[in-house]
């Protein structure tokens, strides 16, 4: 064991999708580091998320608060239970939208791409507003709905009416019938609240890269459904832009509005929500930059380290927020980036957990102990160079 009393190590991985949660991964990295640096090392476990699944757990862990649950409706209107969080000071509420409108929650029945809506997410928001919460963070993605956020706003009291003055059908299938949006019943605390919307994709609301064309098929939409949903979203976006005094052409092309079936569209136009990349909102909420500032070593990880990892995912946030002279080690199931690319991108080194040829199924069974061991291997080498030179080797990699 290499003793090092003053060393601070931050273990801040994403989950290994399908095989290990972020909290378990952080613990495995920490155990690996501890086995090398001993009990004196200050090891901070900080499970992270990129705004998708796991974001609620990451924030609850960091806030030290318990999850709460609420009876809501799932994407097809069935009773469901959704988790959400509230910060210890009671000011900030946190919603992981897929808890209510997630695709997995409705995969026990045939998918209903035209009917599915985001009402249940809005029901959580209403509960938070009723509790006096003034800041609401929404992590969206993995949704079953393509309704442009109309279900959400409807839960908050906004009415979407057809030409005859009747409420349109719920879901993306009703969007084309909207003639008028009536905000007169909007929850009284909604406009004054601060809405932060963490988007997991940068697609616009409609068009070939839009919510319906790109994500509709995974929600069960066939070609005709995609056309109907896309036309409905464009129609909605034009009405919203006109109502909110936003330039329609710019609104139709704005990045991120196509996340979670266009859910941001209504929130941005009617509630003034700010959209941010998911990993950015998680990092800000956890003060990742502040924690990394004091680190002597940063250990992170995820299932697969590839080019996508560098585009707004956890590893991207970690490498960008780590001080330039702090080693950043990635432990991953699959490492697609070679060493030159890693160094060029501000990752000191990346190691796969695989010790030899293995199937994903085999690696998945034992991921925690493999992560722990790979972390120990990396720490042994770093500890050796650190303690023998006291210069830490600081392999200067340019942070982008």
Ligand X SMILES: O=C(O)[C@H](O)COP(=O)(O)O
Ligand Y SMILES: Nc1ncnc2c1ncn2[C@@H]1O[C@H](COP(=O)(O)OP(=O)(O)O)[C@@H](O)[C@H]1O
Q: Is 399 in the site for ligand Y (CB under 6 A)?
A: no
Least distance (Å) from ligand X to the CB of residue 295? Answer: 30
Helix (H) or strand (E) holding 227: helix 223-244
Contact 265, 205 (CB under 8 A): yes
Least distance (Å) from ligand Y to the CB of residue 334? Answer: 5
Q: State which of residues 93, 122, 142, 220 lies at the interface with ligand X (CB under 6 A).
A: 142
Closest alpha carbon to 50 in 211, 224, 282: 282
Least distance (Å) from ligand X to the CB of residue 140? Answer: 6
Who's near 78: CB < 8 A, 6+ residues apart? 106
Specify the residue, 107 or 308, whose C-beta has the smaller distance to ligand Y: 308
Least distance (Å) from ligand X to the CB of residue 88? Answer: 29
Q: State which of residues 127, 313, 319, 320 lies at the interface with ligand Y (CB under 6 A).
A: 313
- The interface with ligand X within residues 242-271 (CB under 6 A) comprises 259-261
Least distance (Å) from ligand Y to the CB of residue 26? Answer: 14
- Where are the alpha helices (H) located in 336-366, listed in sequence order? 339-344, 360-365
User: Which of 220-240 are b and which e, b meaning 16 or more Cβ less than 10 Å from the residue's Cβ?
Assistant: bbeeebbebbbebbbbbbebb
Specify the residue, 98 or 178, whose C-beta has the smaller distance to ligand X: 98
Residue 215 binding result from ligand Y, ligand X, none, given CB thresholds of 5 to 8 Å by partner type: ligand X
Q: State which of residues 1, 3, 5, 18 lies at the interface with ligand Y (CB under 6 A).
A: 18
Q: Is 200 in the site for ligand X (CB under 6 A)?
A: yes
114: tokens are 């035209």
Q: Is 141 in the site for ligand X (CB under 6 A)?
A: yes
Cα–Cα distance for residue pair 48/298, rounded to 1 Å = 13
Cα–Cα distance for residue pair 210/92, rounded to 1 Å = 31
Specify the residue, 129 or 213, whose C-beta has the smaller distance to ligand X: 213
Q: Is 54 in the site for ligand X (CB under 6 A)?
A: no
Specify the residue, 115 or 313, whose C-beta has the smaller distance to ligand Y: 313
Long-range contacts from 76-85, C-beta under 8 angstroms, 24+ separation: 76/106, 76/109, 76/112, 76/115, 76/116, 76/144, 77/115, 77/117, 77/119, 77/170, 78/106, 80/105, 80/120, 82/120, 82/123, 82/124, 83/56, 84/56, 84/124, 84/127, 84/128, 85/56, 85/59, 85/60
Q: Is 24 in the site for ligand Y (CB under 6 A)?
A: no
Q: Is 201 in the site for ligand X (CB under 6 A)?
A: yes
Specify the residue, 4 or 200, whose C-beta has the smaller distance to ligand X: 200
Q: Is 362 in the site for ligand Y (CB under 6 A)?
A: no
Judged by the rule CB under 6 A, the positions of this chain that interact with ligand Y are: 16-19, 302-304, 308, 313, 333-334, 353, 360, 363-364, 367
Judged by the rule CB under 6 A, the positions of this chain that interact with ligand X are: 141-143, 200-201, 215, 259-261
């Amino acid at each position: 064991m290499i003793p090092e009393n003053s060393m601070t190590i931050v273990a801040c991985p994403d989950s290994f999708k399908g095989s290990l949660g972020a909290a378990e991964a952080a613990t495995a990295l920490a155990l690996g580091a501890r086995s090398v640096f001993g009990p004196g090392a200050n090891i901070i476990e900080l499970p992270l998320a990129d705004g998708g699944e796991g974001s609620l757990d990451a924030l609850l862990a960091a806030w030290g608060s318990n999850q709460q649950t609420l009876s809501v409706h799932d994407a097809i209107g069935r009773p469901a239970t959704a988790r959400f969080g509230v910060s210890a000071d009671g000011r900030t509420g946190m919603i992981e939208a897929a808890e209510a409108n997630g695709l997995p929650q409705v995969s026990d029945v045939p998918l209903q791409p035209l009917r599915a809506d985001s009402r249940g997410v809005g029901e959580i928001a209403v509960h938070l507003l009723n509790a006096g919460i003034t800041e609401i963070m929404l992590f969206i993605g993995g949704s079953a709905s393509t309704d442009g956020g109309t279900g959400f706003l409807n839960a908050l009291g906004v009415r979407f009416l057809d030409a005859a003055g009747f409420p349109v059908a719920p879901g993306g299938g009703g969007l084309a019938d909207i003639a008028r949006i009536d905000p007169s019943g909007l929850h009284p605390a909604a406009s004054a609240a601060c809405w932060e919307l963490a988007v997991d994709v940068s697609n616009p609301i409609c068009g070939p890269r839009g919510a319906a064309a790109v994500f509709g098929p995974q929600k069960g939409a066939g070609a005709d459904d995609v056309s109907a949903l896309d036309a409905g979203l464009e129609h909605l976006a034009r009405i919203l832009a006109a109502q909110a005094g936003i330039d329609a052409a710019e609104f139709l092309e704005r990045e991120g509005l196509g996340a979670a079936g266009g859910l941001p569209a209504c929130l941005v136009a009617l509630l003034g929500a700010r959209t941010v990349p998911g990993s950015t909102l998680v990092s800000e909420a956890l003060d990742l930059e502040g924690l990394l500032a004091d680190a002597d070593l940063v250990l992170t990880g995820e299932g697969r380290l590839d080019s996508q990892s560098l585009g707004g995912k956890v590893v991207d946030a970690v490498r960008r927020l780590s001080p330039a002279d702090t080693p950043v080690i990635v432990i991953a199931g699959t490492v697609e980036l070679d060493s030159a690319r890693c160094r060029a991108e501000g990752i000191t080194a990346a190691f796969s957990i695989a010790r030899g040829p293995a199937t994903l199924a085999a690696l998945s069974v034992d991921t925690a102990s493999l992560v722990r061991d790979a972390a120990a291997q990396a720490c042994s080498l770093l500890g050796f160079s650190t303690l023998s030179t006291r210069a830490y080797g600081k392999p200067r990699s340019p942070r982008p």
